[in-house]
Amino acid sequence: MKFWKATALLLGMLMLCSLWAQSGKSEQPSAETDQGGIVLLVNSQSGIWEQLSAKELKKIYLGKMTFRNGVRIILTSREERELRETFFQEYTGKSDKSFTSYWKQKVFSEGGEVPKRIVGIEELISYITEHEGAIGFAWQAEVPEVPAGLKVILPK
């Protein structure tokens, strides 16, 4: 009899943990907001960004993929906290704070460069169009028209 009570208690606890975990997911930022989804901005001249999977994007932003088709990848980030938090959570599985800590540790132990922090969309567009391997992110609403030298992509 004790076995069945213990089993029932364990199953009940597992169900509560499962419900608790699911309720926390709604608090996670989503790539969809009132500003539209997040889009990736890349240099259109290089041709290295024809397709990009979410898995590749994660490797890129965690510094595990630094070249693509022989071109050095240049990471950028944005000053806007909500955008960073949403992007990093969605595509790297890390909060903004843990992403920053990850890069500090990575630079200290392995070398490399932290993603270049860029203030506004105009500066981001200018930087990406001037640097062949540059990649960045923005709210979709920030890029209603795609200027020359820039390509907007979504990870698949």
CA R_g for the chain: 20
Percent residues over pLDDT 70 in the chain:
78
For residues 140 and 92, membership in a common domain is answered with: yes
For residues 65 and 139, membership in a common domain is answered with: yes
What is the rounded average pLDDT of the residues 18-26? 38
What is the rounded average pLDDT of the residues 44-58? 89
Distance CA 150, CA 61 (A): 19
Distance CA 83, CA 3 (A): 50
Q: How would DSSP label each residue in 84-119?
A: HHHHHHHHHS--HHHHHHHHHHHHHHH---PPEEE-
For residues 2 and 58, membership in a common domain is answered with: no
Number of domains in the chain: 2
What is the rounded average pLDDT of the residues 41-58? 90
For residues 15 and 82, membership in a common domain is answered with: no
For residues 74 and 93, membership in a common domain is answered with: yes
For residues 21 and 42, membership in a common domain is answered with: no
Domain span including residue 12 = 1-30
Q: What is the pLDDT of residues 62-101, one digit of tens each?
A: 999 999 999 999 999 999 999 999 999 999 999 999 999 9
State the CATH number of the domain containing residue 119: 3.40.190.10
Q: What is the reported pTM? A: 0.77
Mean pLDDT: which of 3-17, 31-45, 80-94 is highest?
A: 80-94
- Average pLDDT along the chain: 82
For residues 47 and 99, membership in a common domain is answered with: yes
For residues 91 and 148, membership in a common domain is answered with: yes
Who's near 42: CB < 8 A, 6+ residues apart?
Answer: 48, 49, 128, 134, 135, 136, 150, 151, 153
For residues 71 and 25, membership in a common domain is answered with: no
